[in-house]
Amino acid sequence: AQTVTQSQPEMSVQEAETVTLSCTYDTSESDYYLFWYKQPPSRQMILVIRQEAYKQQNATENRFSVNFQKAAKSFSLKISDSQLGDAAMYFCAYRSAYAGGTSYGKLTFGQGTILTVHP
Amino acid sequence: SAVISQKPSRDICQRGTSLTIQCQVDSQVTMMFWYRQQPGQSLTLIATANQGSEATYESGFVIDKFPISRPNLTFSTLTVSNMSPEDSSIYLCSATGQADQETQYFGPGTRLLVL
């Protein structure tokens, strides 16, 4: 079974600064997807960014980028030019890419990291 | 991306009663899922809602406690049966679209408090 670990229960950053959230995972599979989701106090889960394991290039979405290290099974999220609206709980998640397996389609989440943004 | 709505958004219930949560997607989707998120915790998958057949439950969750229906490609319900205070959680519905089957999109969640 796959596991996802977020070792930082809480992080804080000053507005306009950069912060990196850590995520490691354990899997025996070679093909999978990784995601970062954001959950603000409204509790709506919002997709931040997605990475396909077969792609060597790190995904980017505006101020959000990842550092995907497949061999190390590491998937960190960097938020540049932090804004007050970035304050939320961030979850790292893993999804198998193997169709037909018992885990197909299911997301395995990390414990979450609460990000506070100071003005 | 699919837009997902849930009803009710929150409820307060008495122990021993049941509550049915509805999940509606604005377009046809392939897979639908139900998650539970206890206060301050991560998300735990309850089951995969299968269209026209019985849901597939994860370890620790049973059909008698969490009956699920999915009569078509855009709608599903989760019932929390014979509730106890331990069932107080946020319940979230998610789905993967037909165009993008790799990414799950989530509804806004239903906050349940059982007294």
Residue pLDDT, tens place only, B11-64: 999 999 999 999 999 988 888 999 999 988 999 999 999 888 889 999 999 999
Mean of the per-residue pLDDT values for chain A? 93
Whole-number Å distance between alpha carbons of B92 and A69: 30
Q: What is the DSSP letter of A84?
A: G
What is the CB neighbour count within 10 angstroms for residue A99? 8
Q: What local confidence, expressed as pLDDT, does residue A100 receive?
A: 67
Q: What is the DSSP letter of A57?
A: S
Q: A62 at the B interface (CB within 8 A)?
A: no
Q: What local confidence, expressed as pLDDT, does residue A103 receive?
A: 65
CB atoms B104 and A112 under 8 Å: no
Nearest chain A alpha carbon to B94: A45
For tokens 């806004």, what's the residue? B108
Phi/psi at A18 (nearest 5 deg)? Answer: -110, 140
Q: Which residue in B45, B94, B102 is closest to A33 by CB distance?
A: B102
The DSSP bridge partners found for residue B25 are: B4
Percent of chain A with pLDDT over 70: 96
What is the CB neighbour count within 10 angstroms for residue A92? 28
Query: Mean pLDDT over residues A70-91, rounded?
Result: 97
Whole-number Å distance between alpha carbons of A38 and A23: 14
Query: Mean pLDDT over residues A5-11, rounded?
Result: 97
Closest CA to A96 of A51, A5, A14, A30: A30
CA atoms within 13 A on the CB side of A20: 8
How many whole angstroms from its chain centre is CA A81? 18
Closest CA to A115 of A41, A24, A51, A5: A41
Is pLDDT of B111 > 90?
yes
CA atoms within 13 A on the CB side of A100: 0
**Best residue in A4, A94, A107 to probe B by mutation, most B CBs within 10 Å?**
A107
Q: What pLDDT, in 10s, does the model give residues B87-104?
A: 999 999 999 887 777 889
**Helix, strand, coil share (%) of chain A residues, nearest 5:** 5, 50, 45
**Best residue in B104, B112, B113 to probe A by mutation, most A CBs within 10 Å?**
B104
What tokens does B29 get? 């989707």
| CA A35 to each of CA A51, B58, B60: distance values in angstroms, whole numbers, following the listed order | 6, 21, 25
Q: Identify the band that residue A34 occupies on the pLDDT scale cut at 50, 70 and 90.
A: very high
